[in-house]
Amino acid sequence: MGFLSHIPSMAILKIARMGHPVLHQISETVDDPTDPEIARLINDMIDTLQDAAGIGLAASQVHILKRVVIFIVPESRSGEDEEDSETELTIMINPVIEPLSDETNLDWEACLSVPDLMGAVERYSHIKYSWSTPAGKREERVASGFHARTVQHECDHLDGILYPMRMTDLTLLGYAEETNRNIELLRRGHGLEDGFDPELQVAEEG
């Protein structure tokens, strides 16, 4: 303990960007979720996510190949149903996703590792997912809509997958600044011809 020990530790980690090989590696299972090293990693990931004003972060994005993800579902993106409501910060160690049906939906995503861009991706509409908490307890939730999309996006990072790798129509990949001015494109990426308010379509980065 040095003379700085009264200052709470805080670290903002460097976020890897698309093109860095660490983003395409498979992350390792965490043997002991209660390991103090994992607790320190999680604290640094929370600091990093807050600093970047994102909604989700996987450990691989900060160059640590462990199966750890943090995310929130902000009130602005919560849907009407209970499985897609605002969610406080969730810390997941060794998450596992199970689709609850074959139903998918198309919508916009953005990623802290793919800055300035947004793209529309098909994801499962309804999932069940489970994870270990930092206390080592296994938990489970059912999710749909934006909540389900966020979990799938973040867990893909643990398997070395970035959202553009899931895209089938690359006309739906663009700079957020341009895309947000292109109402027709916004609607198409939202899986709708009309009837939604494009002002809601702010790209939240995970």
Closer of 95 and 206 to Ni ion (Cβ): 206
158 binds Ni ion (CB under 5 A): no
| Spatial contact of 95 and 151, defined as CB atoms under 8 Å apart | yes
CA dist 97 → 14, 39, 153, 179 (Å)? 27, 23, 11, 30
**Given the rule CB under 5 A, which of 67-75, 79-87, 167-175, 198-206 is the region that contacts Ni ion?**
198-206
Shortest Å, Cβ 148 to Ni ion: 15
Closer of 145 and 206 to Ni ion (Cβ): 206
Closer of 33 and 206 to Ni ion (Cβ): 206
Of 54, 134, 189, 206, the residue at the interface with Ni ion (CB under 5 A) is: 206
Shortest Å, Cβ 174 to Ni ion: 17
| Spatial contact of 20 and 157, defined as CB atoms under 8 Å apart | no
Instruction: Give the C-alpha separation, 205 to 56, whole Å.
Output: 7
Question: 3-class DSSP state for residue 70?
Answer: strand
**Following DSSP, what letter does each residue of 84-152 receive, concatenated?**
GS-EEEEEEEEEEEEESSS-EEEEEEEETTEEEEEEEEEEESEEEEEEE-TTS-EEEEEEEHHHHHHHH
88 is an active site residue: no
Size of the site for Ni ion (CB under 5 A): 2
Shortest Å, Cβ 37 to Ni ion: 23
Active-site position among 109, 154, 204, 205: 154
Compose the 103-122 pattern: x for residues touching Ni ion by CB under 5 A, - for all others: --------x-----------
Shortest Å, Cβ 159 to Ni ion: 12
Question: 3-class DSSP state for residue 26?
Answer: coil
For Ni ion, the binding residues (CB under 5 A) are: 111, 206
